Amino acid sequence: MPANRSWMKAHRRSAEFRSGVDEFVAVATNHVNADGLARCPCMRCLNVNFHTPATIRVHLFLSGIQPSYNPWYFHGETFSQPAVELPENDEEEMADVLADMLRGDPGFDESANTTDSFNEPPINDNNKLMTCLRRWRLSYIQVAKNQPSMHW
């Protein structure tokens, strides 16, 4: 596979573009389907349409190649992802970081610094949200009892 892809952005009448198209068509010829067709990366086909390598060559000269088509995935190249090492984040370490950020804020409880407390419902019955939900449920039940059912 040619490493230099600068021809893809060169003018279509330049010698650089011509030699790049010739190299690409040689690669595409090696990656045809059972009918002898390959995906066409021209600006009109965008790797959706299949054509013969000769037609692909004509399309590339007429409309140019899709400049973002790199790597040539449909023509035998694979995506090479750089090896990235991600740090391991322990839940305890994350909880410590959050505790450090929230320390001093009103309502912050140092003793509730466990990840288990996130999965449990709130303990405080005077919680505004729980009180609001109870009132909403009661008002909904009262309205539902007083509404006659609709019969068609």
pLDDT tens for each residue of 32-87: 999 999 999 999 999 899 999 999 999 999 999 988 888 787 787 776 666 566 56
Q: How far is 22 from 45, CA to CA, in rounded Å?
A: 18
| Helix or strand holding residue 39 (H, E) | strand 38-39
pLDDT (tens digit, 9 = 90+) per residue, 120-151? Answer: 665 565 667 777 777 777 776 666 666 666 55
pLDDT confidence bin for 92, thresholds 50/70/90: confident
Say whether both 10 and 60 belong to one domain.
Answer: yes
Range of the domain at 66: 6-75
Instruction: Report the alpha-carbon distance of residue 4 to residue 20 in Å, rounded.
Output: 9
In a domain, 80, yes or no: no
Total number of domains in the chain:
2
